[in-house]
Amino acid sequence: MHGVRLVAMAGILSFTVGAVPRGAVAQSPLAPASPSGQTATPAFEGWYKNADGSYSLSFGYYNRNTTEVLSVPVGPDNFISPGDANQGQPTFLYPRRHWGVFAVKVPANFGDKKVVWNLKVRGKTYAIPGSLREEWQIDALEGEAGSNNTPPALSFDDSTVQARGPGGISVDRTATVGKPLTINLVAKDDGASLVRTGSPVVLTWFTHQGPAQVVFGTPTARLTPKGGASSTTATFSKPGEYVLRVRANDSDVTSAGHSQCCWTNAFVKVRVSP
């Protein structure tokens, strides 16, 4: 590891502008948690190098609410800069801390430039930059701190294309409002875990982007320590463009983010017709 926990916390606590919005309560880290009414902050987790020489900048977030899911569509209140406003960031922010939710891929010659996730919630704006500074390198694709534990590999259906890490893999699908879409996924893992030997691979589904939250037939699945096949359904209440995310952890004891290894994201882009 390369000082990742410090980086993540720096990403949460720095680069904020604006006063505490009306109706929201300023919270210290030791203040009692609130079920709703609070803000959310982006976090830069660190960067890792890809096999093709490019780099991935990993981002997560902290939703201070304990029950409220925040919805912030891509636009002036939720955008990446420079470049396209939509570079894979979530528009649904689930309660509490979520690590490595998406990654922005940058070229090998990215140098000292920055990618910034800008997020405004309840009148409070955060602009969290990500860069390739050496001290922010993370072990997202390899065994952490010399361990043999690596992230699960995910693929869709019978595809031979696999991916590991926050940047993950994505596929395109189509669906119809009210008609369940079946999604088949295959996970493979080394069977190792930083928590304990024999921990299962755990799959958790999220609505990442879209006009409404999606109902999953099996929102969470526990596989063997070596992984396996899994299937869920997604039912949509409104037409539009959606992105679904599934997170594969190699432990059922801790959520992704207790370290920067070992979990993997996969994304399903769905065009939903009326």
Q: Is the peptide bond before 151 cis (omega within 30 degrees of 0)?
A: no
Judge if 72 and 100 occupy the same domain: yes
Nearest to 114 by CA among 129, 136, 135: 129
Q: Which of 136, 163, 196 is the last residue of a domain?
A: 136
Name the domain count of the chain: 2
State the pLDDT at residue 267.
Answer: 97
Judge if 25 and 87 occupy the same domain: yes
Judge if 24 and 56 occupy the same domain: yes
d(CA 171, CA 12): 31
Nearest to 205 by CA among 185, 176, 225, 175: 185
Residue 144 sits at φ, ψ, to 5 deg, of -75, 135
> What is the CATH number for 193?
2.60.40.10
SS3 149: coil
Nearest to 2 by CA among 130, 140, 137, 166: 137
Judge if 102 and 62 occupy the same domain: yes
Judge if 109 and 185 occupy the same domain: no
Q: Which of 136, 167, 182 is the last residue of a domain?
A: 136
Judge if 83 and 165 occupy the same domain: no
151 within 8 A of 264, measured Cβ to Cβ: yes
Instruction: Give the DSSP letter of residue 163.
Output: B
Residue 131's CB is within 10 A of a number of other CB atoms, namely 18
SS3 7: helix
Question: 147 vs 44, 154, 189, 215, 262, CA distance in Å?
Answer: 24, 21, 14, 37, 11
- Whose tokens are 């000292």? That residue is 112
SS3 226: coil
State the pLDDT at residue 32.
Answer: 66
Residue 48 sits at φ, ψ, to 5 deg, of -140, 155
State the pLDDT at residue 194.
Answer: 59
Instruction: Give the DSSP letter of residue 253.
Output: S
Judge if 167 and 239 occupy the same domain: yes
Domain holding 13, by residue range, is 4-136
Instruction: Give the DSSP letter of residue 255.
Output: -
Judge if 128 and 149 occupy the same domain: no
Judge if 100 and 61 occupy the same domain: yes
Judge if 124 and 210 occupy the same domain: no
What residues have CB less than 8 Å from 33, skipping those under 6 apart?
A: 27, 64, 65, 66
Judge if 95 and 209 occupy the same domain: no
State the pLDDT at residue 30.
Answer: 53
Judge if 106 and 130 occupy the same domain: yes
d(CA 183, CA 185): 7
Taking CA 63 as the corner, what is the angle to CA 259 and CA 181, rounded to the nearest 5 degrees?
Answer: 85
- Whose tokens are 């998406």? That residue is 102
Over its length of 274 residues, how does the chain's per-residue pLDDT go in tens digits?
A: 443 333 333 344 333 333 333 333 344 455 567 999 999 999 999 999 999 999 999 999 999 999 999 999 999 999 999 999 999 999 999 999 999 999 999 999 999 999 999 999 999 999 999 999 999 998 877 655 555 678 889 999 867 778 888 999 999 999 999 999 999 999 998 776 655 567 889 999 999 999 999 999 999 999 998 999 999 999 999 999 999 999 998 866 555 444 566 789 999 999 999 9
